[in-house]
Chain A
Amino acid sequence: MSRIPENARDEIARLMQANLQRIRACGPRNNRLAKRPAATQINGYRMPFASEPFSVPQPVIEPGSKSADALAPTYYVICWNDPVNLMSYVTHVFMKLFGWNRQQAEKHMLEVHQQGKSVLVREGAERAEFYVHELQKYKLRATMEPVT
């Protein structure tokens, strides 16, 4: 537990005294106020009480600013067509590396085969690099291209 600074203690005592004077001036009907000490301010910060709603000041968001993740560059991992890799092999590699089921792997394989390329995933630089390395170990034509 932290200690209340000495100058703050004096301030608290003064405010409590002022509240008691105010309550006495109002009379017996307002004695319920005695049970509710006034809020105090210490070093400019208004200390709340349990019965008072307390709201955290909302952060000021500057227009145009983004989170750290949003600012990090991302890359598409693309597999390009070639005339030599077998379709069953390409499907197998996609299933193995990305954990896709056969249907999804075949969808991407057919994109490569029919459209010349397929965007496999979109990732940060490190992860994209990992996938390209693994795909190229299987001798697939894969590259990472910056998302623009």
Chain B
Amino acid sequence: MKLIEHFSDCWSYLLNPNEADLLRSLLKRFPFGRAAKPRISQTAHAPGDDERQKLLEESLSEHRRDLKRLARGLLGEGQWQASPKGSLLTLTSESREILLQILNDIRIGCWRALGEPDDLAEVAQTEPTAAGQRTLMDLAGYFEMHLLDPDGVD
């Protein structure tokens, strides 16, 4: 996956056929797992925390629903163009941010499914489910890194 063109609000990435299939399959799997319970504060019960906690949970729940809808949009034909070397994925700045959030949501979801290990290297690769989740996590990270490729980005 490579950023081949960036001007104004337009980002064009070239993906080889394998990358294009893998990214599409990741988008189809979203959302992965249940969302974590967020915390507005680490401090034990500061004034107003209950209401803020509730607002945060509602906001993130709604946001995840929006991301699910937008993930379907990213699979649409308008985003992808066939190219001799693979597929061209064209994103606006907004859709690029959405894709980043979706990929990171998948990555975090897989990590939670693995039991939130502190050291990813300790995750046993022999167990098929764990291996599958670790692969998805690494895939999501791979696409995140290439979306944020510093060559011509930010």
A residues adjacent to B (C-beta < 8 A): 78, 80, 83-86, 88-89, 92, 95-96, 102, 125, 129, 132-133, 136-139, 143-146
Contacts and interface: CB of A to CB of B under 8 A. Distances in A.
Given A83-B117, A137-B63, A146-B43, A92 B55 contact: no
A139 B144 CA distance: 13
B148 A84 contact: no
B46 A146 contact: yes
Contacts of B40: 129, 132, 143-144
A89 to B, nearest CB: 6
B43 A145 contact: yes
Interface of B: 38-43, 46, 48, 52, 55-56, 59-60, 63, 97, 100-101, 104-105, 107-108, 111, 117-120, 137, 141, 144-145, 148, 150, 154
B154 A84 contact: no
Contacts of A96: 97
7 contacts: A84-B120, A85-B107, A89-B148, A92-B154, A129-B40, A133-B60, A146-B43
B135 to A, nearest CB: 15
A89 B100 contact: yes
A4 to B, nearest CB: 53
Given A86-B141, A89-B148, A143 B59 contact: no
Contacts of B145: 86, 88
Contacts of A84: 107-108, 111, 120, 137
A124 B101 CA distance: 27
B39 to A, nearest CB: 6
A141 to B, nearest CB: 8
B43 A139 contact: no
Given A137-B63, A146-B46, A85 B39 contact: no
A136 B60 contact: yes
Nearest to B154: A95
Contacts of B38: 136
B55 A129 contact: yes
A129 B148 contact: no
A67 B39 CA distance: 31
Contacts of B101: 137-139
B89 to A, nearest CB: 18
Nearest to B117: A83
B6 to A, nearest CB: 14
Contacts of A138: 100-101, 104
A80 B39 CA distance: 12
Contact of B104 (A78, A102, A139): A139
Contact of B119 (A83, A85, A88, A125): A83
Nearest to A125: B48
